[in-house]
């Protein structure tokens, strides 16, 4: 992943040098387990513990000769170990090391993502609480629908991100496992006891049964969880982008004092951060598909998944963290224009509150079809420059024949909408108001 979308700590986690460090950590964990079982003497174990992580340059030199990166790594480590080096990689196969080290990397990557996700959840919770009574118009098909609040919109996104967080944790648990069971997973050359003891030292659970590799349905599910998290992120980004349109103007993403929205048009203030989130979510969906293609390996293994994962897993975790941090930056500095929201809601005489009039007329005894056609006619008459739905309603003899002035006025009150919305905040456990960025648990 290019630096633009790669958080520094995750780039270091997935670096080639760190991979060699983790490979050695796995190898030494097995040596420790063998020593505890009496298979390696304390003196030999002391020599093994002093083994340094080999340089990338030396591993690359050996790989050029051997055509195998893990075998080159083992050779590079053994060069400085003397006789004790014979215990390194004893009874193991490459995937024992690769898959177990990969689990360690995915565990750390997930922890970083969960920190970012927790912060985003907190910001969404704060916005939801702060604006739970900030009225705006809801939209369906891109058109005005009925009143709601900006806090309710943010609460909806919060609920969605909470599900994404739970989904990611479940998928992460499936990949945070190790496998040290030999060439086709039968423990013929490395006992289950050694595997369990070594993995315990690494903080991993052993898979119940494996082939030469850990089954790739686990990694496919993990990539799918990231892709869904990306889709959820994109939905938030798209909604905020729509609300920032010139014709809407209800929110604005942060804009730096020296920032330029366009090289040619000085007035421009584009939602570029949110657009970036939308674009990167497409990459996550592509990597999820690649992960699904990796599941069907030949028999006990082939290597077709390896090249895919060397790109997909590091890049997907880095992009996910970057997207979450970008959204957090936007929400931290988001400008919410409550006056614009109110103005849009009251457009053309509160046209978006037609359903309350419909229901009032039906309750007053008018047949539904008759009431619908009446309200529709009044609404269409108001939906023009200078039009007012409320004025049309108040001047309608058909409405006056069924409803009194107080009943008509009640059809245009916002409070009934706002009162019913409160139940959603209660279900989410959101307080009346929170300071910006207050934590909300996934």
337 and 411, same structural domain? no
**Segments of the chain with pLDDT less than 70:** 433-442
| Residue 40 covered by a domain | no
| Residue 83 covered by a domain | no
| Residue 421 covered by a domain | no
Predicted confidence at residue 438, as pLDDT, reads 39
| Residue 142 covered by a domain | yes
| Residue 377 covered by a domain | yes
Predicted confidence at residue 419, as pLDDT, reads 86
Helix (H) or strand (E) holding 139: strand 135-140
**What is the C-alpha separation between 379 and 353, in angstroms, rounded?**
10
**What is the C-alpha separation between 153 and 391, in angstroms, rounded?**
30
DSSP 259: -
Please give the positions annotated as active site.
Answer: 141, 262
Domain extent, residue 178, equals 92-252+266-342
354 and 328, same structural domain? no
Predicted confidence at residue 420, as pLDDT, reads 85
Give how many domains the chain has, as a whole number: 2
Q: Which of 331, 325, 442 is nearest to 10 (CA)?
A: 325
Q: Exposure string (b/e) for 8-39, b if CB count within 10 Å is 16 or more? A: eebeebbeeebbbebbbbbbbbbbbbbbeeee
pLDDT tens digits along 96-129: 999 999 999 999 999 999 999 999 999 999 999 9
| Residue 400 covered by a domain | yes
| Residue 35 covered by a domain | no
Structural domain ending residue among the three candidates 326, 342, 358: 342
pLDDT tens digits along 147-178: 999 999 999 999 999 999 999 999 999 999 99
185 and 210, same structural domain? yes
Predicted confidence at residue 363, as pLDDT, reads 97
Which residue reads 């939801």 in tokens? 128
Beta strands in 156-211 (DSSP E): 177-178, 205-206
- For residue 154, the domain's CATH number is 1.20.200.10
Exposure of 286 by Cβ count < 10 A (0-12 exposed, 13-18 middle, 19+ buried)? Answer: middle
302 and 188, same structural domain? yes
Predicted confidence at residue 259, as pLDDT, reads 82
């Amino acid at each position: 992943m290019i630096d633009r979308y790669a958080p520094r700590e995750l780039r270091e986690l997935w670096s080639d040098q760190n991979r060699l460090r983790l490979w050695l950590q796995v190898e030494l964990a097995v040596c420790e387990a063998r020593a505890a079982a009496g298979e390696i003497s304390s003196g030999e174990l002391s020599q093994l513990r002093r083994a340094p992580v080999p340089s990338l340059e030396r591993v690359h030199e050996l790989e050029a000769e051997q055509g195998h990166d893990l075998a080159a790594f083992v050779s590079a480590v053994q060069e400085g170990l003397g006789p004790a080096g014979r215990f390194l990689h004893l009874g193991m196969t490459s995937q024992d090391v690769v898959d177990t080290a990969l689990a360690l990397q995915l565990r750390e990557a997930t922890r970083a993502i969960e920190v970012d996700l927790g912060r985003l959840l907190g910001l969404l919770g704060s916005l939801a609480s702060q604006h739970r009574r900030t009225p705006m118009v809801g939209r369906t098909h891109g058109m005005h629908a009925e009143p709601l609040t900006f806090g309710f919109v943010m609460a909806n996104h919060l609920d969605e991100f909470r599900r994404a967080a739970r989904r990611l944790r479940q998928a992460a648990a499936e990949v945070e496992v190790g496998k040290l069971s030999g060439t086709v997973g039968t423990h013929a050359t490395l006992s289950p006891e050694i595997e369990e003891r070594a993995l315990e030292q690494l903080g991993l659970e052993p898979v119940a049964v494996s082939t030469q590799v850990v089954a790739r349905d686990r990694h496919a599910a993990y990539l799918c969880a990231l892709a869904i998290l990306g889709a959820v992120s994109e939905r938030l980004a798209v909604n905020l982008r729509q609300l920032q349109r010139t014709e809407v103007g209800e929110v604005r993403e942060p804009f730096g004092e020296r920032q330029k929205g366009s090289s040619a048009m000085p007035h421009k203030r584009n939602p570029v951060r949110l657009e970036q989130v939308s674009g990167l979510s497409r990459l996550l969906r592509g990597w999820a598909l690649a992960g699904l293609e990796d599941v069907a390996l030949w028999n006990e293994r082939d290597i077709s998944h390896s090249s895919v994962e060397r790109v997909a897993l590091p890049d997907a975790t880095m992009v996910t963290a970057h997207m979450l941090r970008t959204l957090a930056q936007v929400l931290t500095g988001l400008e919410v224009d409550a006056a614009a929201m109110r103005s849009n809601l009251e457009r053309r005489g509160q046209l978006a509150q037609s359903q309350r009039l419909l229901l009032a007329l039906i309750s007053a005894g008018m047949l539904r079809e008759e009431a619908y056609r009446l309200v529709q006619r009044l609404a269409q008459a108001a939906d023009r420059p200078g039009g007012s739905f409320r004025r049309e309603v108040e001047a309608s003899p058909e409405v006056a024949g069924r409803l009194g002035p107080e009943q008509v006025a009640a059809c245009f009150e916002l409070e009934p909408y706002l009162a019913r919305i409160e139940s959603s905040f209660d279900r989410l456990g959101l307080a009346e108001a929170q300071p910006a960025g207050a934590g909300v648990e996934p």
